[in-house]
């Protein structure tokens, strides 16, 4: 599938009857406004351009561990440190709000996500994540076996798709499927079942979460050599609804089309969350603000150790400690930190800019990491659009669109009437990621608003009069892209190896952008740092007993 073409998308949007007229006079008619947002680009580009402020003597501090980056990986690192009883650490976050792409936003009447918005119920072998959820108070022990509480499991109706002129339940576009399509879908499910039950000689699964626990058998890794669509073609499938479904899932989880995603990653999506094909896909945990709730819990737990508005500009290894130079973007004061160890919980592409005298091999490896760009828009509505077919769900998808549709922020709170916020997602699946970032910065709020309204009008012809505001976030490096060859590459593995006292976390080290992977790497990197000083620290992923429903 070709890269997202704005003109094509606009054309598709304009093909709807109301869009036809909107194209000419929408600007004058528009009764809403909004903002074009982006993560702290300015500070980021300053660092890229080599800006290193010098802290005054009185602004130097000492600490055990410095964590750089307050996304899920960095916050999980702080959580792991606290679990090990370590209170002397600092977490330096560039932005005013932590969470990275899992952050939340707020309107006068509800909170809403700005990115990641759900986590599937973890498998029984992901005991550390069960422990986190337990601490968050969303695990119910009343039934003996721990269960996730009802109010955080996504409420029905969970998802619907707009195809053939109306909404139907689920993601698969049944409305336009023929008998042959349905037969191919079953054949696809059989293949998935086969891969779920696949085990290597050591009893490891082909795909698991965290990915680090999965098999590295060549039979599995060869899947990383071809794209998902190539793999599907070798199975003899050509069903359009099936390809659409898989393409949607790839764009949803990886920001890549089915033609760009590694078959390993595509199968990972369908297989990793089920230990056996007899199990159903697990329900998902979600909150009105998406994974922002997890961020909030972890940030609260980190307390004053979490320093916001801190742009880290240099990380220097000094033999017996590491110097971390940062710059307060608010007070404009430079700070120095002498830490015994550093957990660098940023995307890997930043490592060469942050680490002073970064080895050339590390720079080469980092350049192998490619990131996709995303647009996430929050659309405030004064009321719900009228519904004639399957009712408004949590996740609402348009079959005939390159967007991923929208989730409804008030859904999980059970608010079924009145104002709401729709969070709309669009991955930019360009073949060259830099092109997407270029486009991201080029287009104005008006362009995005026009495109978003046109997209929504496919399923809601009269929605424009209900919109009171549209805020548009441009994520330049939204998520790591598992294109063929990356997951099995040596560069990816090497990037996780510590540089002396600097330990690396970040979901991109897994090749897939998932909350569970970020959490895993935060814990893994922290344990590595701790074990280097004290070999009695337990490794959570080995030490904690299985939890939850098996």
Number of H helices, E strands in the chain: 18, 21
Three-point CA angle 486, 372, 467, nearest 5°: 150
DSSP class of residue 138?
-
Tokens of 248: 């949607």
Assess contact for 474 and 441: CB atoms under 8 A.
Answer: yes
CA dihedral 441, 445, 450, 454 (to 10 degrees): 70
Tokens of 97: 């709000």
List Cα–Cα distances, 305 to 58, 64, 368, 446, in angstroms: 19, 12, 33, 40
Q: Based on CB atoms, which residue is closest to other proteins, 174 or 316?
A: 174
User: Footprint of other proteins on this chain (CB under 8 A)?
Assistant: 17-18, 20-21, 150-151, 153-158, 164-166, 283, 383, 391, 413-418, 461-462
Q: Based on CB atoms, which residue is closest to other proteins, 323 or 393?
A: 393
Q: Based on CB atoms, which residue is closest to other proteins, 309 or 410?
A: 410
Report how far residue 369's alpha carbon sits from residue 345's, in angstroms, rounded to the nearest whole number.
15
Q: Based on CB atoms, which residue is closest to other proteins, 318 or 465?
A: 465
368 phi/psi in degrees, rounded to 5: -75, -20
**DSSP string of 220-265?**
HHGGGGSBHHHHHHHTT---HHHHHHHHHHHHHHHS--TTTSBHHH
Nearest to 178 by CA among 233, 235, 239: 239
What size, in residues, is the chain?
550
Q: Based on CB atoms, which residue is closest to other proteins, 237 or 394?
A: 394
Assess contact for 479 and 101: CB atoms under 8 A.
Answer: yes
Report how far residue 167's alpha carbon sits from residue 400's, in angstroms, rounded to the nearest whole number.
12
DSSP class of residue 507?
G
Q: Based on CB atoms, which residue is closest to other proteins, 147 or 368?
A: 147
* CB neighbourhood size of 60 (10 A): 13
């Amino acid at each position: 599938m070709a890269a997202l073409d704005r003109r094509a998308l606009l054309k598709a949007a304009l093909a709807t009857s109301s869009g036809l007229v909107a194209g000419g006079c929408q600007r004058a008619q528009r009764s809403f406004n909004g903002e074009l947002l982006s993560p702290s680009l300015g500070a980021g580009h300053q660092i890229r351009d080599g800006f290193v402020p010098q802290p005054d003597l009185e602004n130097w501090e000492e600490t055990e561990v410095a964590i750089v980056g307050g996304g899920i990986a960095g916050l999980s690192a702080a959580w792991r440190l606290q679990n090990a009883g370590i209170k002397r650490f600092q977490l330096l976050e560039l932005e005013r709000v932590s969470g990275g792409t899992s952050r939340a936003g707020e309107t006068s009447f509800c909170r809403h996500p700005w990115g990641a918005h759900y986590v599937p119920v973890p498998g029984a072998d992901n005991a550390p994540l069960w422990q986190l959820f337990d601490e968050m108070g969303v695990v119910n022990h009343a039934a003996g076996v721990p269960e996730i509480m009802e109010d955080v499991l996504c409420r029905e109706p969970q998802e619907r798709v707009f195809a053939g002129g109306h909404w139907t339940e689920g993601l698969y576009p049944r409305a336009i499927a023929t008998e042959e399509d349905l037969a191919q879908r079953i054949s696809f499910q059989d293949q998935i079942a086969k891969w779920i039950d696949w085990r290597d000689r050591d009893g490891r699964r082909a795909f698991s979460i965290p990915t680090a626990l999965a098999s590295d058998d060549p039979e599995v890794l060869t899947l990383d050599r071809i794209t998902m669509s190539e793999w599907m073609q070798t199975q003899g499938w050509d069903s359009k609804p099936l390809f659409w479904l898989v393409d949607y899932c790839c764009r949803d989880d990886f920001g890549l089309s089915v033609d760009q995603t590694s078959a390993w990653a595509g199968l990972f999506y369908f297989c990793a969350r089920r230990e056996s094909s007899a199990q159903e896909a697990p329900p998902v945990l979600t909150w009105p603000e998406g994974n922002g709730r997890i961020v909030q819990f972890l940030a609260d737990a980190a307390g004053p150790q979490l320093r916001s508005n801190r742009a880290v500009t240099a990380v220097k290894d000094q033999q017996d400690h590491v110097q971390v130079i940062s710059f307060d973007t608010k007070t404009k004061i430079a700070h120095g930190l002498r830490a015994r160890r550093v957990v660098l919980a940023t995307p890997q592409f930043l490592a060469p800019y942050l680490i002073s005298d970064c080895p050339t091999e590390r720079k080469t490896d980092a350049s192998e990491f490619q990131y996709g760009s995303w647009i996430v828009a929050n659309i405030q509505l004064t009321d719900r659009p009228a519904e004639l077919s399957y009712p408004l769900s949590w996740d609402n998808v348009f079959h005939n669109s390159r967007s991923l549709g929208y989730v409804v922020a008030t859904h999980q709170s059970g608010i079924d009437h009145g104002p709401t916020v729709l969070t709309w997602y669009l991955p930019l699946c360009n073949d060259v990621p830099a092109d997407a970032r270029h486009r991201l910065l080029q287009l104005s709020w008006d362009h995005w608003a026009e495109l978003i309204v046109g997209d929504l009008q496919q399923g809601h012809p009269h929605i424009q009069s209900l919109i009171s505001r549209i805020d548009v976030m441009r994520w330049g490096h939204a998520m790591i892209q598992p294109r063929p060859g990356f997951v099995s590459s040596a560069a990816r593995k090497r990037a996780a190896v510590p540089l002396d006292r600097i330990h690396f976390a970040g979901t991109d080290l897994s090749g897939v952008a998932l909350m569970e992977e970020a959490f895993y790497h935060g814990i893994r990197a922290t344990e590595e740092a701790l074990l280097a000083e004290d070999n009695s620290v337990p490794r959570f992923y080995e030490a904690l007993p299985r939890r939850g429903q098996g």
